[in-house]
Amino acid sequence: MMSGAFATNNAMKPLTFIHTSDLQLGMTRKFLPPEAQSRFDDARLRAVHRLGELATERGAEFIVVAGDVFEHNALEKRTLGRALEALGNLPVAVYLLPGNHDPLVADSVFNRTHDLDGVMVLGSSDVIEVREGVEIVGAPLKAKYASEDLCAKALAPLGPTDALRVLVGHGQTQSRTGEVARDTIDLDNLETKLADGTIDYVALGDTHSTRSLGDSGSVWYSGSPETTDFHDMSPGVAGGEVDSGNALVVQLSKGRAEVEKVPVGAWVFHALHFEVGGGVDVDKLLAQLRAYPDKERTVIKYAIVGTLGLEDTRRLEEGLAELEPVFASLRERTRLMDLHLEPGAEELANLPLSGFAANAMGELAAAATGGDATARDAVNLLFRLAKEA
């Protein structure tokens, strides 16, 4: 029997837990070659292990995963087995919320978690007492697309409480289309429920970048603990996954949440834009790519805009060809590429070509200058062969 004094003290004890989401275990990226995809799979499992280490380091009582634990409900047997093993080996209890990728439907992957000690599925909006004075309320998706604000539905029957109560939800607080959507989470409603003590923290998933919402400091997207998509680094652009690869350490007391963002991911996905006009720009471009420290865990897609002569084009293409197999993936953003070849008169005059070869080079160079990619490749090949000769 718990004494009254102990129960009161335990109820007043601050809470520390880990907030994460969008593990999407089993995710594939079509632009990764098989060996890189294998390393990407392992990194997502290692991120789960790192969450456990973080929980131990910070004295966290549990971990909440706010949706999209799995990439989908039809994972390959080996992938699912490894994922369940990683979750079952976590050193603290973990609460899993079904999201839009892994909704709680008849063939749900969550049906395989029942025998895992310490792994609980937030399959309803019933209040779960973690310990005296600590509660979790989930807003699970039971279909791929929700037809209402599931967070508002979960909170509707609840009132203010002296307990520390965490709401775990998955979805957007603003419609991506700009139109009013029935499943959009009402942020103002969440802030009202935080203010009156119905809840004390809202752990959200779906957005893969870490982000604080509203004015209370108690509504957060944790973002994915391992990067899944590109951060667009183009000048004047701040799009895509601008801050993924993190987990949140939440220290919660009644009416106050202290949230710390902790990096846990290992992969980098960058979308780059380069403007070139000569050899100096080519040197800078190649130097930037060579400076990435962990190329085997780095995915780059790039766009190059500008005009180069024969020698600079050759150096650029040779440099990119040298780097391409070193990165997990290094590829052109084809629709944004606008690189033109414009041989200088001196470059053409100095080539050891005559007769038909010289005429062919002149015609190809003119076509390449006009933007013909095939002609550009032919000019580069003929230029290289001439230089070797």
Gap between the Cα atoms of 238 and 336, Å rounded: 17
Tokens of 1: 């029997």
Residue 86: other Cβ atoms inside 10 A = 19
CATH architecture of 15-263: 4-Layer Sandwich (3.60)
- The pTM assigned to this predicted structure is 0.86
Label residues 276-297 b or e (16+ Cβ within 10 Å = b): beeeebbeebbeebeebeebeb
Structural Rg of the chain based on CA atoms: 27
CA 133 centroid distance within chain = 34
What is the pLDDT at residue 10?
Answer: 55
Q: How far apart are CA 74 and CA 206, in angstroms?
A: 19
According to DSSP, the β-strands at 329-332 and 246-253 are: unpaired
CA distance 101 to 94: 19
Q: How far is CA 197 from the centre of its chain?
A: 32
CA distance 21 to 97: 9
Q: Which tens digit of pLDDT belongs to each residue from 304-321? A: 999 888 889 989 999 999
Q: Rounded to an integer, what distance in angstroms lies between the CA atom of residue 203 and that of residue 184? A: 15
Could you tell me the residue ranges of all domains in the chain? 15-263, 268-388
Rounded to the nearest angstrom, the gap between the alpha carbon of residue 155 and the centroid of all alpha carbons in its chain is 29
Query: What does DSSP say about strands 134-138 and 128-131: parallel, antiparallel, or unpaired?
Result: antiparallel
What pLDDT, on the 0 to 100 scale, is given for residue 118?
95
Please state, in angstroms and as integers, the Cα–Cα distance from residue 173 to each residue in 55, 124, 169, 192, 223, following that order.
Answer: 28, 21, 11, 15, 14
Paired tokens of 332 = 């052109």
Please give the pLDDT value at position 6. Answer: 38
Classified as helix, coil or strand, 95 is: strand
Of 218, 291, 226, which is closest to residue 264 (Cα–Cα)? 226
- pLDDT tens for the chain, residues 1 to 389: 344 443 445 556 789 999 999 999 999 999 999 999 999 999 999 999 999 999 999 999 999 999 999 999 999 999 999 999 999 999 999 999 999 999 999 999 999 988 899 999 999 999 999 999 999 999 999 999 999 999 999 999 999 999 999 999 999 998 665 667 889 999 999 999 999 999 999 999 999 999 999 999 999 999 999 999 999 988 777 688 999 999 999 999 998 999 999 999 999 999 999 999 999 999 999 999 999 999 999 999 999 999 888 889 989 999 999 999 999 999 999 999 998 877 665 555 556 656 666 677 667 766 766 666 676 666 666 666 655 55
